[in-house]
Structure 1
Amino acid sequence: MSSTKADLRRTALARRLALDAGEVARRSDKLRENLFRQFPVAEWRWLHLFLPLKKRNEPDTWGFVEWVWSEELPLRLAVPVVQADGTSLRHYELTPDTQLTQNKWGIEEPVPDPDTAPEVLPAVLDAVLVPLLAVDTAGHRVGYGGGFYDRFLAQCRPGTQFIGLSVLDEAPVPALTDVLPTDVPLTACITPGRVWRF
């Protein structure tokens, strides 16, 4: 298998799209269990996560959200909103009262509101759950190619945990051949079967 991002993006997306909805849900539950079992979630104050693009079989992170709320953990959640410039993200708190709307890709996003969805700055985050299609042995991820997350992760403070989520139960690939200087490596990647740390 080639180790270029474009080839990995195409083949990993095809494998993910081949999963049925029930399998994505089952694997998403395993990701949640691995996160709460193997990371110090109870010590975090702020966790950033993405809301799933279901038509691309992304991990269903709503199970993570509902777990935090049902357990009444003292953990606050933040999610991204794509900005009108089409290249940047801003981040807003997600609570049970947050009003959501779908963006042009079909991803749910908070409607910014100082009372129910205040803005959250990257510098306060303790951990970020990152979407991906593949990852290499150094923690460099393959996403959809827009660079949104690399620009965002570069704004976080040193020590923030960057944790990839993948419903594909696969080992990291050998080193990518086209890593960019602006690529921000992950701290770890959670798959249904195990946690890979970099």
Structure 2
Amino acid sequence: MRKADLRRTALARRLALDAGEVARRSDKLRENLFRQFPVAQWQWLHLFLPLLKRNEPDIWFFIRWVWGEELPLRLAVPVVQPDGVSLKHYELLPDTQLTQNRWGIDEPVPHPITAPEVFPQILDAVLVPLLAVDRSGQRVGYGGGFYDRFLVQCRPGTQLIGLNLLNEAPVRRIADVLPTDVPLTAYITPGRVWRF
């Protein structure tokens, strides 16, 4: 299947979920991550703040759990840069001030104390938004290429973990993978974890 077809059908299925179902499935994603991966051994986890109007996984379940358990794990989130194509990354702390970008996604206001910059080379794991994935770990996102440009900057061995609210198995093959696409190392749905 081609990315555009996968994107269209997956987004329609995800948008059909009600708020309660999004919350329930988001918590299941959190459970699967913390049960199946050595999160307590990581120093840095990069995650995305959800675009709730598109029914993205509610990552605040992950964030509140990390802060509530007082894990030593540090969290980083992306900020789209003025060029409109690149990301910088900043630490997310309980007192980090957030502002919405032009797509309605919360982003930290960069600050040397409450939101210092974080560089991709230090990340142990990255939670990656997606709409579909294939059996080799190639993913379909919204098509902007933000994450592919970011993930290639991460050091070898960084866990690249896709999250999907839909209980969708990987498709056999995405037909139009680009040479610049970066494959995932794992994929989590509410019901299962796949590793590539």
Matched residue, 2:129 = 131
1:148 to 130, 146, 149: 146
Paired residue for 2:191? Answer: 193
Unpaired stretches in structure 1, ≥5 consecutive residues: none
Residue matched to 2:33: 35
- Could you say what the CA RMSD is over the residues aligned between the two structures, in angstroms? 0.4
Measure how far apart 1:86 and its partner are. Answer: 0.5
Counterpart of 1:85? Answer: 83
* Residue equivalent to 1:11: 9
Aligned pair 1:45/2:43, yes or no?
yes
- Give 2:24's match in structure 1, choosing from 8, 23, 26: 26
Q: Which amino acid aligns with 2:160?
A: F
TM-score by length of 2: 1.00
The residue type paired with residue 22 of structure 2 is V
| Cα displacement (A) at 1:54 | 0.2
Return 5+ residue gaps in structure 2 as ranges.
none
Pairs within 5 Å for 1:47-66: 47-66=45-64
SS of the aligned residue for 2:102 comes to coil
1:102 is displaced (CA, Å) by 0.5
How far residue 19 of structure 1 moved from its aligned partner, in angstroms, is: 0.4
Counterpart code for 2:19: A
Runs of 4+ in 1 over 4 A off after TM superposition: none
Offset, 1:163: 0.2
Q: For 1:197 and 1:158, how far apart are their aligned partners in 2? A: 16
**Whole-Å Cα distance in 2 between the matches of residues 194 and 118 of structure 1?**
34
Cα distance in 2 between the residues matched to 1:191 and 1:80: 22
Per the TM alignment, residue 5 of structure 1 is displaced from its structure 2 partner at its CA by 0.2
Aligned to 2:181: 183
Please state how far the C-alpha of 1:109 moved relative to its aligned partner: 0.3
Q: Equivalents in 1 of 2:156, 2:188: separation in Å?
A: 21
> What's the CA shift string for 1:119-150, capped at 9, x where partnerless?
00000000000000000000000000000000
Aligned residues: 196
Q: SS at 1:97's partner residue?
A: coil
Deviation at 1:117, TM superposition (A): 0.2
The CA deviation at 1:71 is 0.3
State percent identity of aligned pairs. 83
SS at match of 1:109: strand
